[in-house]
Amino acid sequence: MNMFELMTEVLSIWEDSPSFYRIENKDGKVWLMPVRRLRTAMHLYQPSGRNGKLLKRWFPLLHRLPLLKQKLHIDTTRCSLAEDLYDKLCKLFNRDRLEFAVFCGTPCVHQKLTIQLSSGDNILGYCKVSDSKEVAELFSRESNILGNLYKAGVHNVPKIMYVGEWRNGVYMLVQTTRKTDRSQVIHDWGHLHDGFLRDMAVKTKQRLVFEETDYYKTLNELSMHLDWLPSDEGRELVRGVLEKVLNEHKHKMVEYGAYHADFTPWNTFVEQGELFVFDWEYAQMTYPPMLDRYHFFTQTAMFEKHWYSDEIMAYVESAEGDWIDKTEYQFYLLDIIARFTLRERGHFSGDVAHSINVWTETLKRLEE
């Protein structure tokens, strides 16, 4: 089942269905935003670029202007949720009526639908839908991770309301949120980000042998698939750093904790002075502490500031980058290279190909 077929499972089109705007960006990402209560719906839209941020701010105010929609190539369509899905979601959230917006996912092997559910101005939660068994396993992992975090006392994260098979071969995960119309996305690192990660590190800390950790398992799996890396130079570089890390930590006791693995501005928001963190599908429970800060830095550098390895290394060597430990940064780069190499099975294109090149070149520069 491709994405179009999945959408026809989830959405129905009727003459009396609500009107939606279809928004598509240059990367092929598509959103369906209801014309009614557009401002609330646009909280599903999490842009990293300047134009996207402007669209999120101004489109809810100016969307009635025909020339604007024409210039932005925004079409209008009609759709409703499939009746049995709508009824199930109404029961889960204990509502007679629900409104929704849809993000059709980042085009990749783990593409999925994300549905924001609301009632009036109140955002209630999110439903993720996929027909991929691999993505269904990510749903289960996210559910288990969030359960472990709650047990550990980490509470500014979603609660799982449902995870499982909705129809034959179609899986979904439903979770709560604390997001409101007043929630803010903070794009610069601050004390709230630092505080969340340090609190999580303390509450989830485990002492164990390195070979028993999730981090070791990731590196070990990468070592078996180095041939999937796109260049001979990259393979040899990663092999060398990988062997160094594995040998230095062999049979050693370590103190590791939870790792979000996609800790970015677009997966966090601030509500009533507290940081709320969502999208835990790639998370792990036994990783080196504070690696999420390196991810936040690297992803915002690449996708918001459009930096390459030269600019990243200039920052690393500057007074502003004195928080960076080069060894820890290498730990992070090995993990992010591993995740995308294993996820894509060596078939790199678009943003992923660009990212692999930047990560690998930065790893090389850190070794010099």
Residues 206 and 163 in one domain: no
Is residue 244 located within the same domain as residue 357?
Answer: yes
What does the pLDDT look like over 174-209, one tens digit per residue? 999 999 989 999 999 999 999 999 999 999 999 999
d(CA 61, CA 100): 19
CA 87 vs CA 63, 95, 218: distances in Å: 30, 9, 40
Look at residue 185 and tell me if it is in a domain: no
Residues 40-92: tens digit of each pLDDT: 999 999 887 788 889 999 999 899 888 888 888 899 999 999 999 999 999 99
Query: Do 107 and 254 fall within a single domain?
Result: no
Residue 238 three-state SS: helix
Q: What's the whole-model pTM score?
A: 0.92
Q: Is there a single domain that holds both residue 139 and residue 17?
A: yes
The tens digit of pLDDT for each residue in 252-266 reads 999 999 999 999 999
Does 215 share its domain with 275?
A: yes
pLDDT at 298 over 90: yes
Q: Quick check: is 181 in a domain?
A: no
Please say if the pLDDT value at position 248 is more than 70: yes
Are 267 and 139 in the same domain? no
Q: Is residue 186 part of a domain?
A: no
Examine the domain organization and report whether 19 and 124 are in the same domain: yes
Going by pLDDT thresholds of 50, 70 and 90, the confidence category of residue 1 is low
- What is the average pLDDT score of the chain? 94
Q: Is residue 357 part of a domain?
A: yes
Of 116, 147, 176, the residue at which a domain comes to its end is: 176
Residue 67 lies in a domain: yes
State which residues form the domain around 15: 3-176
Bigger pLDDT: 158 or 9? 158
Domain count, the chain: 2
The answer to whether residues 142 and 265 belong to one domain is no
- Tokens matching residue 43: 């909280």
Least confident of 7-11, 147-151, 175-179: 7-11
Beta strands in the chain (DSSP E): 11-12, 19-24, 30-34, 75-78, 80-81, 99-103, 113-119, 122-130, 160-167, 170-176, 206-209, 253-259, 268-271, 274-277, 284-287
Q: Is 109 in the same domain as 217?
A: no
Q: Is residue 103 part of a domain?
A: yes
Residue 122's Cβ-side half-sphere holds a number of Cα atoms within 13 Å equal to 7
pLDDT of 368 above 80: yes
**Is residue 326 scored above 90 in pLDDT?**
yes
pLDDT number for residue 158:
97
At residue 156, the pLDDT reads 96
> Is there a single domain that holds both residue 134 and residue 236?
no
- In a domain, residue 254? The reply is yes
Are 228 and 145 in a shared domain? no
| 151 falls within a domain | yes
| pLDDT beyond 70 at 135 | yes
Following DSSP, what letter does each residue of 328-344 receive, concatenated? HHHHHHHHHHHHHHHHH
pLDDT(247) > 90: yes
Last residue of a domain, one of 176, 199, 227: 176
Does residue 331 share a domain with residue 216?
yes
Give 19-31 pLDDT, tens digit per residue: 999 999 888 899 9
Q: What is the CATH number of the domain that holds 234?
A: 3.90.1200
Least confident of 52-61, 92-101, 158-167: 52-61
| Boundary-marking domain end, from 148, 176, 204 | 176
